[in-house]
């Protein structure tokens, strides 16, 4: 019987579970079970608690993998689910308690994402709130510059909006990376999260780090072999 953990994949803003398809296929080929969770993208606590609830209903150990804003989400969720054995961050934010995703990158050079967001309103129980997508004509450059135009054209019109509060909400729990081993894939040509921010986050987390040279923010799609290699190394370490 395999002692490998189930790999739970958490997408970030502007994406959905299908963004992990190339990773899922490669993990399956290696006999590693995975689950791509639908991240609500409504608020860090809400999203983290939701992912933790999914993980808590999985039998056996789990390796959490988070892309982009999914990184803060697994940082929260990993503190709420005792069967989580490790964390893998992919072109991600790396935050500490009391820090938000946006706050964690404030001291680094501005990236193209910052000038490409489109605000829209959505209804809440209290009234309305703001959510963001990436301007369609900027999506390819910001998110997936190393992918074909036919892919980015479709991805640009099928974005999952992220609530403003999700990116601005501080982490309210002790981060899971303080007690769990972590790994980090840095995308060196990322126009959504500055590569130097990713490097600093990986250092803060004490993560085993690889750099995906020339990789865009969407490295799980454009460079799945490198991402899977890091996940497999993490699986082997915690199995």
CATH number at residue 40: 3.40.50.1820
- Residue at 175 is within a domain: yes
Give the predicted TM-score (pTM) of the model: 0.97
Helix and strand numbers, DSSP H then E, in the chain? 10, 9
What's the CA gap between 223 and 166, in Å, rounded?
Answer: 27
- Residue at 147 is within a domain: no
Q: pLDDT class for 102, splitting at 50, 70, 90?
A: very high
Nearest to 157 by CA among 128, 172, 142, 137: 137
Here the tokens at position 79 are: 């503190």
- Residue at 120 is within a domain: no
- Residue at 136 is within a domain: no
- Residue at 130 is within a domain: no
- Residue at 43 is within a domain: yes
Query: What pLDDT, on a 0 to 100 scale, did the predictor assign at position 2?
Result: 62
Query: What pLDDT, on a 0 to 100 scale, did the predictor assign at position 3?
Result: 82
Range of the domain at 176: 6-108+169-238
In sequence order, the 6+-apart residues with CB closer than 8 A to the CB of 82 are: 56
As for how many domains the chain has, the answer is: 1
- Residue at 220 is within a domain: yes
CA 70 to the chain's CA centroid: 3
CA 121 to the chain's CA centroid: 24
Q: pLDDT class for 202, splitting at 50, 70, 90?
A: very high
């Amino acid at each position: 019987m395999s002692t490998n953990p189930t790999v739970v994949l958490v997408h970030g803003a502007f994406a959905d579970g299908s963004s992990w398809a190339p990773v899922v296929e490669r993990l399956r080929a290696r006999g590693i079970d995975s689950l791509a969770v639908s991240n609500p993208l409504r608020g860090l606590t809400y999203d983290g608690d939701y992912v933790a609830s999914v993980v808590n209903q999985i039998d056996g150990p789990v390796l959490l993998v988070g892309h982009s804003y999914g990184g803060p989400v697994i940082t929260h969720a990993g503190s709420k689910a005792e069967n989580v054995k490790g964390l893998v961050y992919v072109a991600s934010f790396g935050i500490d308690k009391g820090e938000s995703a946006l706050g964690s990158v404030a001291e680094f050079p501005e990236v193209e994402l910052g000038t490409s967001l489109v605000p829209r309103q959505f209804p809440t129980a209290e009234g309305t709130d703001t959510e963001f997508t990436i301007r369609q004509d900027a999506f390819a450059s910001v998110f997936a510059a190393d992918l074909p135009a036919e892919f980015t054209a479709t991805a640009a019109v099928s974005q999952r909006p992220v609530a403003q509060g999700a990116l601005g909400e501080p982490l309210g729990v002790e981060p899971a990376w303080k007690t769990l081993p972590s790994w980090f894939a840095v995308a060196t040509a990322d126009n959504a999260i500055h590569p130097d921010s990713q490097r600093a986050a990986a250092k803060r987390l004490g993560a085993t780090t690889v750099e995906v040279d020339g990789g865009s923010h969407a490295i799980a799609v454009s460079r799945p072999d490198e991402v899977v290699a890091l996940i497999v190394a993490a699986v082997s370490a915690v199995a």
